[in-house]
């Protein structure tokens, strides 16, 4: 993530990865404040064994696109909700990648971070049966919870 201040959003990605049993690391790497670290991080990610990178940032959110430019690993971008523009700035600056460098952009804020964790697990699940099974179990339980609670007025 671009800043420690992004953690209250990005922890929802970590929570989902925990839930699905996917190991991960969490790092603050800023496109603007630590550009050399960003290049080192992205360039070495694949050889360090990472399979997917979730990059969350807010405002003029260059982090996901710059990371994607330095690695061929899939990069999932999470627009963090900014104070000034409610994350619309983050969303547009992450989603509007020019053709040729791909960033998979999720929703603004908590839902986007949660789904980034889920989508990362689904990507891992294409080659790891344990993770694929965990994703399928999570989704089946989610479905069952909705079916078991049809009345919103019931406690």
82 has binding-site annotation: no
Nearest approach, Cβ of residue 82 and ligand RP5 (Å): 7
* Region near ligand RP5 per CB under 6 A, out of 3-11, 91-99, 112-120, 146-154: 3-11
Cβ-based nearer residue to ligand RP5, 10 or 124: 10
**Could you tell me the CA-to-CA distances from 2 to 35, 73, 79 in Å, in that order?**
11, 18, 11
Contact with ligand RP5 (CB under 6 A): which of 6, 79, 105, 116? 6
Residue 86 or 142 having the CB closest to ligand RP5: 86
Q: Give SS3 for 21.
A: coil
Q: Return the DSSP state at 55.
A: E
In this structure, the dihedral spanned by the alpha carbons of residues 86, 103, 99 and 3, taken in order and rounded to 10 degrees, is: 50
Candidate segments 1-9, 37-45, 112-120, 139-147, binder of ligand RP5 by CB under 6 A: 1-9
Whether 3 has a binding-site annotation, put simply, is yes
30 binds ligand RP5, rule: CB under 6 A: yes
Among 20, 38, 57, 123, binds ligand RP5 (CB under 6 A): 57
For ligand RP5, the binding residues in 59-88 under the rule CB under 6 A are: 59, 80
Integer Cα distance of 2 and 7 in angstroms: 9
Long-range contacts of range 44-49, CB-CB < 8 Å, 24 or more positions apart?
45/71, 45/73, 46/71, 46/72, 46/73
In 3D, which of 106, 24, 38, 28 has the Cα closest to residue 70?
38
The binding site for ligand RP5 (CB under 6 A) comprises 2-3, 5-6, 30, 32, 57-59, 80
């Amino acid at each position: 993530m671009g800043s420690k201040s992004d953690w209250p959003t990005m922890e929802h990605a970590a929570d989902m990865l925990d839930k699905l049993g996917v190991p991960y690391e969490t790092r603050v790497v800023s496109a603007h404040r630590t550009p050399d670290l960003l290049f080192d991080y992205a360039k070495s990610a694949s050889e360090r064994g990472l399979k997917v990178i979730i990059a969350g940032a807010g405002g003029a959110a260059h982090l996901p696109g710059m990371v994607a430019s330095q690695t061929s690993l899939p990069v999932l971008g999470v627009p963090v909700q900014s104070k000034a523009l409610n994350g619309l700035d983050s969303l547009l600056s992450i989603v509007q990648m020019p053709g040729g460098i791909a960033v998979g952009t999720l929703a603004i804020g908590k839902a986007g971070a949660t789904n980034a964790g889920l989508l990362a697990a689904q990507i891992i699940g294409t080659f790891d049966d344990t993770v694929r099974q965990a994703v399928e179990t999570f989704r089946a339980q989610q479905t069952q919870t909705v079916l078991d609670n049809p009345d919103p007025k019931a406690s």
